[in-house]
Structure 1
């Protein structure tokens, strides 16, 4: 029986011993793992000591004692003699009492050791955070500084954080912000402090990191970044075609200017073609170049060429973090500068462009027709290798757009391909032409909406975009992106948001209209090809509209194209009928002209209300009519539409309306331009336009008084 009793009571004793040992180990581990309450960590709450004190390892003895006592009672009831069970119960009670006494004594010893550890760690943490060379402070939700270390006191000894950070929201401070204070740059970090009691005041721990030296080296790195520039004599071909051109002396003078320009910015250059230069210099000189607006452009105009033409330069600058990227950006900027007519500087940084010069520049039509002939040949091959041809213009199509589209329809028929004109809604400008098309069987079922075109177009189809190259102006960017083969024909200056990656393009900023360009291509597309009298009249109407009856932006090739159309059967009376207005339109146009406001510099501004019928057409006509008034050099008419505000700009040539409207998202030519503004009122649009006009006048040095 004794052996049996030993077997049943011994496990209880060893369990108590093991439990006491485990409790001792955990208590020591808790003391070793305790960390001081660190204000820099953004936490004020129960300390490690508090958490340690909450642990009660002796509580585990209670259920064990109850279980052992129950086992002893069972022995006393079922085993004989009775004293064996009673002895077991007595041993259990004795072991429990001894264990409680030993654990209690050890627990008090551990408490004393932990008190010493926490006291030492708290003092060390307080000393470190107070003497560390990082400004730190704690403020409440009213902005009152309730604690700051020595480094913070050296910077600011006040007690209100809002005096140095007036924009700081003390209730919800941002985690990181920057500040320049006492000649240094700081990055300020904030962290909310968790309080033990929910009703306690909200506190925020803040520390300041000195970033002055880091920003200094960052600025040095940015200033020393390599910048690539390209300089072209963009009218070299026109100059060289003149027999009076003094080629050697002109190129020598141009290189002298480039050499002097490069020396002034501590750079280096190489001449790699007759009239092209490659430059590299440091980015720190960019601010000075932009401030003086690349005066090299004006210096080149003073070179004597021996002809009536002046030397015009196109300057492209790419400013990126690597030389290869800067070179690529410079080439993209040069493509844009040439597409905008040249005689200007374009700076590209990342995706942003800056333009300088070109205020009074009018792109000259090239004398050579080689480009038109090569494009016509490539376009025919592309059409013949396609199953259908779709022609799309810009939103709110005009006669230049419709006339060019009809000319391209003639080219698609010559290539034996089915052609469609993609159009949204009709308007008063093109209503007459569309009515004539509807009456003719030849053009039956050739007009499609955007939705219909999206369903019809195939990977083997070709899409031709005419009279625009802007993503924001094209009728349907979705249709352009869906087309596998795309062609762009446009006479406007190259915009920043131009349609990307066309299969074939024909840009001619010197052309008067898209109709002129299509007419030239038609003459080289196939031998003996001529448009019908109606198509010829539509093409001539488009040219007449864009040139304001051959008065603006008209060159020799414009009249040659008009002569070809006249020989092909263009009816001038039909052209006149296309521009006839009803009495209501005439009266509304006169009202808009009458209400115009004349600014300094001969710039007129007027508006069309949204309840005026055909207000977009009236705006364009009123802008043209204002130029016939003596003393007006440029005109802008704003039309209020459900989608926003449309602006029509016109000029006699002294003021560049394209540059003015480009600042507010528009584009076009020096003499004819437009813009579309969304989510803006008519008064806000007038203010925005006025600011752009004054900014332009400041750039060209015009004398005016701003009221």
Structure 2
């Protein structure tokens, strides 16, 4: 029995060693470099076998050496594996500690939530920011109203006030996580830098010479003294350096902090001062151009040029407004709530005409473009310019998209009065490239925004461009404009082009009957039968065109309405809603396509309703586009409202179009803009 016990003990010892060896081999096999050791071992044994064949003494020596290596490896492998495991364990423990430290003690607030906006987890920084400890399971909106805005953010970092402090906040909606980074110190530095950020501006008294021309010297001195005193009081209130550099022009120097204070009040001082003088029958108004740079290094002369450009933009938009723009930002517009009387002269028309002829002579050929979805004024103006170009013996084409012609234009272009083949005049977009050269001149009529042009691609490529337009100038403007003739006081572009023929009637051939009819039709449509934006020069132009054979009876027939269109217009008027007591809004349906003329006529008619200051017709213009036609009596600047929606126009007549939206969505956008204006 004792013998069997010894044997069993020996067997157990063998089994224990066997298990230990197998465990060591398994651990060794799990090492990332074990396959490399296997490979070297196999290669070593092959070399040993070859040595046995060639010279057995060397083979034995190599084999003994291999056995020694195996013994040493077997002796130390357990200790080696233990050391590796110990290091790995410490590393994992350190990583867990680091992870815990990062998640709970980092200055970055982290908060996770579920599909119901209930908090799942938040680190210590997030709890400190929210200033609450028990947040798990609670809805974000219950913790703070500010979460509503945070949840609307995209994946970008935004600087937001939260619980009275400034943070950079990112909302990662895909993983339902919100991150906060304390931005207080950086924000303080940014605010401090604003005191050193220079702002340059020019202030111009609109039509100063006309204001004082009827005054004697003493009255002019009194007028200037009173005005300068009021301007200086305003400048002192907002820490503005104001220096008079001409009778009607001032230079302004201020910092960004002062500008922000002034913008907070939306330059109300100038509108109040204007209203005060208007009540005294003195039509005083101001135009300002203000510029600043968002970079630490800039050239002061460039800043002055930018301010002058902004002032020119304010004047081109009709004056009585302020344009503020940084070098890398979009312009901000204030004022422009009054319709100033135009100060146009025949002299300027003659000078522009001469400059236009010079540009045409220098060009190899001319491409004329109206705006997309052309109206009568756009087509008539294009035909008028075509006449001028061809009289200079230059080849000209009019870029059009005939699929966008409405019924009245189609009737005009099918007139029996046409003495030439329109197929030889009109050019579709697919054929434009054939007529392009480095000296091609682009002439834009009845628009100036590249985004609305039939020649958009050519403008963006930098070809020399001439602009003839009567819409208020917008910020979106061609970079390569070699000649700009924008007269917001004119009734139509057709009026401006007709004046070219009136002033130069002895130097070029007169308009034929068809061209005169097209130009007059454009004037009639844009003025709503001479009832809107009509001045003495409008009637002069119409009289001249009538003398050149313009057929008013044909125009009347062309502008006759189809019964279905009348029904559509009346239906739009029936659906009118009055908003805020003075805004009339009518919406078509997404299923019904309405042309721009019908919508514009409906907007005109809605303006005749009692107490209505502005009217808006929202309608589907095409399968992909919803448009707004806006009208105003003059108290509401519909141009600014339409510009905020990507459109433009005049103070009392404007429009826009938006792609890939519904009529109801556009209505909500419009209501937001109207509400912002009222605020």
TM-score (norm 1): 0.73
1:567 aligned partner: 547
**Residue-pair matches, total:** 626
1:536 aligned partner: 516
Shift of residue 691, structure 1, vs aligned partner: 3.1
Task: Say whether 1:396 aligns with 2:373.
Answer: yes
Shift of residue 671, structure 1, vs aligned partner: 2.0
1:686 aligned partner: 667
Which of 512, 521, 529 is the matching residue for 1:549? Answer: 529
1:652 aligned partner: 633
Asked whether the 8 Å contact 1:251–1:275 carries over to 2, the reply is no
1:311 aligned partner: 284
Which of 404, 410, 423 is the matching residue for 1:431? Answer: 410
Task: Say whether 1:231 aligns with 2:182.
Answer: no
Asked whether the 8 Å contact 1:602–1:632 carries over to 2, the reply is yes
Question: 2:451 is paired with a residue of what secondary structure?
Answer: coil
1:218 aligned partner: 190
2:22 aligned partner: none
Asked whether the 8 Å contact 2:238–2:261 carries over to 1, the reply is no
Which of 397, 422, 426 is the matching residue for 1:420? Answer: 397
CA offsets 1:51-104 (integer angstroms, 9 cap, x no match): 9998899979977996898799779x968xxxx999x79986996699669x74
Task: Say whether 1:275 aligns with 2:248.
Answer: yes
> Which stretch shows the higher mean deviation, 391-400 or 518-527?
518-527
1:356 aligned partner: 334
Task: Say whether 1:674 aligns with 2:650.
Answer: no
Quote the RMSD (CA, aligned, Å): 4.9
Question: 1:374 is paired with a residue of what secondary structure?
Answer: helix
1:18 aligned partner: none
Asked whether the 8 Å contact 2:594–2:620 carries over to 1, the reply is no
Shift of residue 632, structure 1, vs aligned partner: 4.0
1:10 aligned partner: none
CA separation of 1:244 and 1:638: change in aligned 2, threshold 3 A: farther
For the residues of structure 2 that align with 1:135 and 1:479, how far apart are their CA atoms? 52
CA separation of 1:261 and 1:402: change in aligned 2, threshold 3 A: same
For the residues of structure 2 that align with 1:443 and 1:205, how far apart are their CA atoms? 62
Shift of residue 519, structure 1, vs aligned partner: 1.5
CA offsets 1:25-75 (integer angstroms, 9 cap, x no match): xxxxxxxxxxxxxxxxxxxxxxxxx99998899979977996898799779
Asked whether the 8 Å contact 2:110–2:177 carries over to 1, the reply is yes
Asked whether the 8 Å contact 2:450–2:460 carries over to 1, the reply is no
1:385 aligned partner: 362
Asked whether the 8 Å contact 1:491–1:510 carries over to 2, the reply is yes
For the residues of structure 1 that align with 2:367 and 2:267, how far apart are their CA atoms? 43
Asked whether the 8 Å contact 2:590–2:620 carries over to 1, the reply is yes
TM-score (norm 2): 0.76
For the residues of structure 1 that align with 2:199 and 2:632, how far apart are their CA atoms? 36
CA separation of 1:95 and 1:299: change in aligned 2, threshold 3 A: closer
For the residues of structure 1 that align with 2:601 and 2:193, how far apart are their CA atoms? 54
Q: How does 1:440-479 map to 2 (within 5 A)?
A: 440-441=419-420, 445-479=424-458
Shift of residue 518, structure 1, vs aligned partner: 0.7
Asked whether the 8 Å contact 2:593–2:619 carries over to 1, the reply is no
Question: 1:362 is paired with a residue of what secondary structure?
Answer: coil
CA separation of 1:65 and 1:207: change in aligned 2, threshold 3 A: farther
CA offsets 1:586-617 (integer angstroms, 9 cap, x no match): 34433333333334434333344566676332
Gaps of 5+ in 2: 1-27
CA separation of 1:270 and 1:566: change in aligned 2, threshold 3 A: same
Asked whether the 8 Å contact 1:226–1:321 carries over to 2, the reply is no
> Which stretch shows the higher mean deviation, 597-606 or 656-665?
597-606
2:488 aligned partner: 509
For the residues of structure 1 that align with 2:367 and 2:36, how far apart are their CA atoms? 89
Question: 2:415 is paired with a residue of what secondary structure?
Answer: helix
CA offsets 1:376-398 (integer angstroms, 9 cap, x no match): 11111112223433221111211
CA separation of 1:292 and 1:576: change in aligned 2, threshold 3 A: same
Which of 626, 647, 670 is the matching residue for 2:606? Answer: 626
Task: Say whether 1:266 aligns with 2:239.
Answer: yes
Task: Say whether 1:368 aligns with 2:345.
Answer: yes
2:615 aligned partner: 635
Question: 1:352 is paired with a residue of what secondary structure?
Answer: coil
Q: How does 1:57-136 map to 2 (within 5 A)?
A: 104=76, 134-135=106-107
Asked whether the 8 Å contact 2:450–2:459 carries over to 1, the reply is no
Shift of residue 275, structure 1, vs aligned partner: 1.5
For the residues of structure 2 that align with 1:445 and 1:343, how far apart are their CA atoms? 45
Shift of residue 542, structure 1, vs aligned partner: 1.7
> Which stretch shows the higher mean deviation, 661-670 or 445-454?
445-454
Asked whether the 8 Å contact 1:314–1:342 carries over to 2, the reply is yes
Gaps of 5+ in 1: 1-49, 192-202, 700-707
2:264 aligned partner: 291
Question: 2:629 is paired with a residue of what secondary structure?
Answer: strand
Asked whether the 8 Å contact 1:388–1:419 carries over to 2, the reply is yes
Question: 1:510 is paired with a residue of what secondary structure?
Answer: coil
> Which stretch shows the higher mean deviation, 90-99 or 670-679?
90-99
Task: Say whether 1:522 aligns with 2:495.
Answer: no
1:36 aligned partner: none
For the residues of structure 2 that align with 1:571 and 1:336, how far apart are their CA atoms? 38
> Which stretch shows the higher mean deviation, 154-163 or 259-268?
154-163
CA separation of 1:371 and 1:58: change in aligned 2, threshold 3 A: closer
CA separation of 1:445 and 1:242: change in aligned 2, threshold 3 A: farther
1:44 aligned partner: none
